[in-house]
DNA sequence: CTGAAAGTGATAATCATTCTCATAATACAG
DNA sequence: CTGTATTATGAGAATGATTATCACTTTCAG
């Protein structure tokens, strides 16, 4: 029963809570070193997994497979995005179209909801005006 | 202007459309070989990127960073999930709580919506009864 | 035809994440 | 307090999906 957090784990959580932007594991590890702390990359990943299970932080996986983490508690960080499948840009939305009802329903299913992700995919205005397909594979 | 699709591209799209389950790029490549076809893995990835931009297929990125692809058109495949952050299991939901209004709003933003993803994260019933934190890192 | 442009596949390279394992810190029974 | 079992840690290797290379083939407009 490891109910108590390690000093390392506390510092990582603190760093996430105090940061206004979502951060990747690599980025977190880098910032930790900047602060003069010595926490191994493996420990960062282990702690992220732990905090995720404890419901302290949320994870967003980008289309290129990298994970970004941020605190769950702050409403400030509850953002959804319009993601362009062409240029890859993400445009944050300032609304959450989910009613409380649906979250209640999830709980009624015996599922304990920590957080949700909602992402839209399509073409941004700029990319709608281009000949997309031709540029898509132009690099090769 | 590559408006016309290649024979390879057509076969890959056909394979996705005819399959009832979402498939990874690796899986697609394997099945292609099973069918006696000779399409390189690189071409599979290139075609997936192309079809994605054309709005023919949708992509779902799992928490471990692997991408799965499926046809957009079939309502049959429009699923959202309850994802357990502990055991990793995904429980499909049979409803979509998004109103048409929100999609309309996205369009009013000059963003052309192809599809959306909506995922809930938390603990499934089985995992709520365990001492999670202790098992989380037990493997190491 | 003909040559430029686009498509292809084998292979190497990338890189975030996970695994290994020896060591350090901690918890706890006696 | 003291020895011992358990858990945490970090350096580095391994993993594996995805991407980049590059020589070669196909397509097609003129
Ligand atoms: Mn929301
Ligand atoms: Mn939906
Ligand atoms: Zn775009
Ligand atoms: Zn579970």
- Model pLDDT for residues B45-95, shown as the tens digit of each residue: 999 999 988 888 988 888 788 999 999 876 556 677 777 666 666 667 777
E strands, chain A, in order = 23-24, 57-61, 67-71, 80-84, 90-93, 112-123
User: In the beta sheet, which residues pair with residue B67?
Assistant: B61
CB atoms under 10 Å from CB of A19, counted, come to 16
What pLDDT is stored for residue B55 in this prediction?
Answer: 86
What pLDDT is stored for residue B35 in this prediction?
Answer: 92
Q: Above 70 in pLDDT, residue B136? A: no
Secondary structure of residue A18 in the 3-state scheme = helix
Asked if the Cβ–Cβ distance from A111 to B120 is below 8 Å, we say: yes
Ligand nearest to the CA of A100: 1
What pLDDT is stored for residue A6 in this prediction?
Answer: 96
What one-character-per-residue DSSP string does B42-99 give?
A: HHHHHHHHHHHHTTSEEEEE-TTS-EEEEESS-GGG--EEEEETTT--EEEES-----
As a whole number of angstroms, the distance between CA B27 and CA B76 comes to 21
When scoring B13, B66, B102, B128 by the number of chain A Cβ atoms within 10 A, the one with the most, hence best to mutate, is B102
What pLDDT is stored for residue B32 in this prediction?
Answer: 95
What pLDDT is stored for residue B103 in this prediction?
Answer: 77
Secondary structure of residue A85 in the 3-state scheme = coil
What pLDDT is stored for residue B105 in this prediction?
Answer: 79
Which domains does chain B possess?
Answer: 1-74 (1.10.10.10), 78-140 (3.30.1490.190)
Secondary structure of residue A79 in the 3-state scheme = coil
Instruction: Give Cβ neighbours of residue A50 (< 8 Å, ≥ 6 apart).
Output: A9, B133, B136, B137
CB atoms under 10 Å from CB of A80, counted, come to 22
Average pLDDT across chain B, whole number: 81
What pLDDT is stored for residue A16 in this prediction?
Answer: 95
Model confidence at B28, in pLDDT bands (50, 70, 90)? Answer: very high
Ligand nearest to the CA of B72: 2
Asked if the Cβ–Cβ distance from A113 to B54 is below 8 Å, we say: no
Per-10-residue mean pLDDT, chain A, length 140 = 82 93 94 95 96 89 88 70 67 76 78 82 74 56
* pTM summary value: 0.81
Local structure of residue A77 (DSSP, 8 states): G
CB atoms under 10 Å from CB of A97, counted, come to 16
Integer angstrom CA distances of residue B136 from A70, B117, B118? 20, 27, 26
Distance from CA of A33 to the nearest CA of B (A): 24
Specify the higher pLDDT residue, A21 or B13.
Answer: B13
What pLDDT is stored for residue A1 in this prediction?
Answer: 44
- Model pLDDT for residues B84-110, shown as the tens digit of each residue: 666 666 667 777 778 777 778 777 877
């Amino acid at each position: 029963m490891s109910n108590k957090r390690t000093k390392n784990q506390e510092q990582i959580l603190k760093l996430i809570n105090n940061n206004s932007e979502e951060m990747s594991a690599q980025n977190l590890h880098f910032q930790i070193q900047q602060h003069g702390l010595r926490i191994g990359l493996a420990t960062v990943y282990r702690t992220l997994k732990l905090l995720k299970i404890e419901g302290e932080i949320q994870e967003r996986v980008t289309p290129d497979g990298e994970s970004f983490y941020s605190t769950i508690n702050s409403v400030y960080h509850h953002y959804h995005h319009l993601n362009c499948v062409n240029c890859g840009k993400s445009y944050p939305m300032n609304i959450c179209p989910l009613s409380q009802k649906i979250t209640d329903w999830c709980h009624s299913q015996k599922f304990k909801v920590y957080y949700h992700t909602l992402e839209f995919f399509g073409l941004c205005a700029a990319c709608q005006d281009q000949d997309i397909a031709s540029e898509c594979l132009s690099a090769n």
